[in-house]
Amino acid sequence: MWLMSRVIIVCLLLLGTGACSAGARPSGPAPAEPLSAGELRLAASALVERREDALREGDREAFMSTVDEDELQFTATQARLFDNLAAMPVDGLRLDLVQDGAAHDEADGGELHLPVDFTIRLDGFETRSVTRRLLYTIRQADGEVVLVDDRDAAADRRTGWLPDPWDVAHLVVRESGPILGFFDEETAPYATAVMSDLRASQETVLAAVPGWSGRVVAYDISDLTALEGRTPMDVQETGGVAYAVPVRPGSSRIAAYRFIVNPAVAHNGLQREFLLRHELAHVALASRDDQSPRWLTEGAAEYVSRSHYSAAQQRRMAAYVLSFLDTSAPALADSAEFYVDAEANYALAAAACTYLVATRGPQVLWRLMDAFTAERSSRPRRAGTLSAAQIDAVLVREIGLDERELVGAALTWAITGG
């Protein structure tokens, strides 16, 4: 009786508003008024800040609340991105709205397109941060301002953008001292073996290459997009690629050197150790060999990959590989032509560099690289790589042999021991 009386009184009081009128249906909230361009930009700026705070604080729910849940594929990739970044040793994470006038407020039905710089540093593995440009597409949906995309496919094709592992896979992260490995769900069963061989390979490279810190970031993932985009050979013929990571696209400042392996090779126990030592040698040398002929760059890495064997064993290995090749007209290859007949050119380059170390000591390769860098630096106004004559001049000055004489001497040493 008391409850019913209260209900009647409340209805009588609200009759003027129609809240209890017969047959009336409760009305939902009025549709939100579309934001003006200025209001949408302010809301977008706040959204960028919320995403940065959520990533820094490890708040997955807050991060995902900025994403349009109706964009199912994008929602899934954003959830994966958050989980990957949370598992990685990330420091200095920032999301910076770029004020360069490139954004347009009224595009594609009121969507806002804003360039955003995404910056991270792999803590303990890299001394500088890496920044890449994203393009946020933001729209108002059901009264909320949400993110619906973060890339520009046309710009990616135009600039040749290549994804990082955290963009394309659910990462399994492994750390071992100064070694950081990224695997995915398919390659994770091999992670223990790969990390073990990485540690052993690191010791070999530290002993062979002077001045290296031993820090390295390696990727072993099943998505081969980044590998294919960086190799001069067919991806199926590529065991791995080491590459420089600029602080931002187009910059000459380098934040780090990383390498990617092809799982088909890295998961083969007979090939894995040679592959890892070879790519680690490239990482350890960093930019030291940038001005060297390709045969010296690749041949030195091949030498390092065998450097824990005795000199006699290295010579026999070189002779064995060369015995399968046509060496009637041997020549050391440079630039892109090196990879046209990769098997022969790798073998000849390895023989030449191993011969030099065996006959002149382990420092000869690094002295040669420094000599080529000095030669190239002395010609700042001359575009392109050094000519064959310039390469020969450096070789004769440093080792007393030109390219033709060097390869001949290396073949004689490998095959006859003389």
- For position 417, what pLDDT does the model report? 82
* Identity of residue 376: R
Strand pairing category for 254-261 and 216-220: parallel
Strand pairing category for 216-220 and 179-183: parallel
Query: What tens digit of pLDDT does each residue of 277-329 get?
Result: 999 999 999 999 999 999 999 999 999 999 999 989 999 999 988 888 876 78
Strand extents, DSSP E, 102-178: 104-107, 111-122, 130-141, 144-149, 172-176
- For position 17, what pLDDT does the model report? 39
The 3-state DSSP composition of the chain as helix, strand, coil percent (nearest 5) reads: 50, 15, 35
Out of 3.40.630.30, 3.10.450.50, 3.40.50.1370, 3.30.70.580, select the CATH number for domain 37-161: 3.10.450.50
Q: Which residues of the chain have pLDDT under 70?
A: 1-32, 100-109, 327, 380-384
pTM attached to this predicted model: 0.87
Query: What does the block give as tokens for 173?
Result: 């992260």
DSSP, collapsed to helix, strand or coil, labels residue 39 as helix
Domain boundaries, the chain: 37-161, 165-287, 290-418
- For position 109, what pLDDT does the model report? 60
- For position 382, what pLDDT does the model report? 55
- The span from the CA of 370 to the CA of 287, in Å, is 10
Out of 2.40.110.10, 3.30.2010.30, 3.40.190.10, 3.30.2400.10, select the CATH number for domain 165-287: 3.30.2010.30
- For position 12, what pLDDT does the model report? 32
DSSP, collapsed to helix, strand or coil, labels residue 274 as helix
- For position 34, what pLDDT does the model report? 78
